[in-house]
Every structure is written in structure tokens, then in C-alpha cells.
Amino acid sequence: MNIAVIDYKGGNVQSVLFALERLGVQATLTADHATIRAADKILFPGEGEASSAMRELRAQGLDQLLPTLTQPFLGICLGMQLLGRHSEENDVDLLGILPFDVVRFPAAAGLKVPHMGWNNLQQLRSPLFAGLREEDYVYFVHSYFAPVGDYTIAQAAYPAPFSAAVQHQNFYAVQFHTEKSGPVGTRILENFLRL
């Protein structure tokens, strides 16, 4: 299998490459359009800040390429948020593949932001979660989130429900870190590779 991990200086991609390596899968870290187009599966990890990520995607023409891809695609963390329409984080327009707007967790007494740590997955509805149980734990680190909508395929709550995972056609994405979520995260990556 030929897997492309999108390279747009989007933070800790090394963890994702190592997670794939643990599954015995070779992946190529690349921004090359032809290589990405030819891949069987695409991973789109990301950390950090939305507007600088979008700037880098535009600089490489990836903002034009990514929405046209038809193979199974998995966004992770910031890589999920970037699939939306707009982010409150420095007021930036995103890729527009999914119809959500990314907003910040509200400042509220006792609510620590970033939402950092292990939280439950709920209302799982996707082959991506085959073999998982409701309430299984995965690892989150984020200050912004996508609200729940028709595209939501798993929820988490902090304290209100938000999209832990989304899907539109071949575009799957998760807010949590599959590569840092123990055996549960590994299972999700395996499921994705089988799609």
C-alpha cells in the first residue's frame, strides 16, 4: 500500500510516521502533487496554529489539490479543523471540504483550555471505529473545536458535545491523536488503512 503523509510543516508528523511504522506500513512524507494524487491513502496530520498552516498549504498549492482527492483521506487534529470552512483562530478561511466553522472553547470557570488529556468517544457511527466500544478513551489536545453536525461520526464532550470525528465522502478526520491514543488509536489507524 502506498501512503502519503502531507508535508506542510504542520507540527509533529514524526509521531504519525512512527505509528504507521509500528503497523508495518511504509509512508512517504510529501508535498508533491503527483505523489499525493497517486497514493492509495492520505494522512493529513497537524498541530499548531490554523492561519500559518493555511498559509503554508496555499504556498504549496495544496489548498487547491486536497479538495480534489478521491482516495481515503484522514485528517488528524489541526488536520481535521483545516477541512472546515472557517476558523476563529486568527479569523482564517479553511479548505471548505466540510461545512463546519471552527470555534474556541468558551472561557468558563473551571474549564481548562486547551482541552488536554484522555476523553471518551460517544455515538460512534463509522467503519473507522470498528472494534471500538462507546466510551473508549482517546487523547485530545486542542483549544478550538468543530461543532456537532450531520457530518459528525463520533462525539466527545467538554463539557458540551463537539465533533471528535467527521466524514464527508472519502474525507475522514479526527480531532484526537490516533497516533497517541494507545491501542484504541492504533485500531482506528488500522481501520482507516482497511477502508
Partner 1 sequence: MLTKRIIPCLDIKDGRTVKGVRFEGLRDAGDPVALAARYAREGADELVFLDITATNQKRTTLIHLVRDVARELDIPFTVGGGIGTVADVEALLLNGADKVSLNSAALARPELIDELARRFGSQCIVVAADTRFHEPDGWQIYTRAGTHNTGRDAVQWCREAADRGAGEILLTSMSNDGTKDGFALDITGAVSRAVSVPVVASGGAGSMQDFTTVFQQAQADAGLAASIFHFGEIGIRALKEHLRQDGIPVRL
Could you list the active site residues? 77, 177, 179
* Alpha carbons 119 and 128: distance in angstroms, whole number: 18
Q: Confirm or reject binding of residue 169 to partner 1 (CB under 8 A).
A: no
* Alpha carbons 87 and 145: distance in angstroms, whole number: 9
Closest CB to partner 1 among residues 116, 130: 116
Q: Which of 28, 30, 120, 170 binds partner 1 (CB under 8 A)?
A: 120
Q: How many residues bind partner 1 (CB under 8 A)?
A: 39
**Part in contact with partner 1 (CB under 8 A); list of ranges 36-44, 124-132, 134-142, 166-174:** 134-142
Strands (E), 60-159: 73-76, 86-87, 92-93, 101-104, 115-120, 137-142, 144-145, 152-157
Q: Confirm or reject binding of residue 114 to partner 1 (CB under 8 A).
A: yes
Q: Confirm or reject binding of residue 22 to partner 1 (CB under 8 A).
A: yes
* Alpha carbons 47 and 4: distance in angstroms, whole number: 18
Grid cell digits, residue 16: 504519525
Q: Are 126 and 165 spatial neighbours (Cβ–Cβ below 8 Å)?
A: yes
CA distances from 176 to 3, 118, 156 (A): 20, 9, 10
Task: Write out the binding residues for partner 1, residues 49-68 only, by CB under 8 A.
Answer: 49
Contacts of 85 (CB under 8 A, 6+ apart): 93, 94, 96, 98, 99, 100, 101
Q: Confirm or reject binding of residue 119 to partner 1 (CB under 8 A).
A: yes
Within a 10 A sphere around the Cβ of 124, how many other Cβ atoms?
18
The single residue listed with the C-alpha cell 495544496 is 62
Task: Write out the binding residues for partner 1, residues 25-54 only, by CB under 8 A.
Answer: 47-49
Q: Confirm or reject binding of residue 182 to partner 1 (CB under 8 A).
A: yes
Q: Confirm or reject binding of residue 14 to partner 1 (CB under 8 A).
A: yes
Task: Write out the binding residues for partner 1, residues 68-97 only, by CB under 8 A.
Answer: none
Q: Confirm or reject binding of residue 161 to partner 1 (CB under 8 A).
A: no
Q: Which of 92, 103, 113, 195 binds partner 1 (CB under 8 A)?
A: 113
Q: Which of 123, 98, 30, 36 is nearest to 72 (CA)?
A: 36
- In the complex, the smallest distance separating the C-beta of residue 156 from partner 1, rounded to whole angstroms, is 9
Binding site for partner 1 (CB under 8 A): 11-12, 14-15, 18-19, 21-22, 47-49, 107, 110-120, 137, 139-143, 157-158, 177, 179-183, 185-186
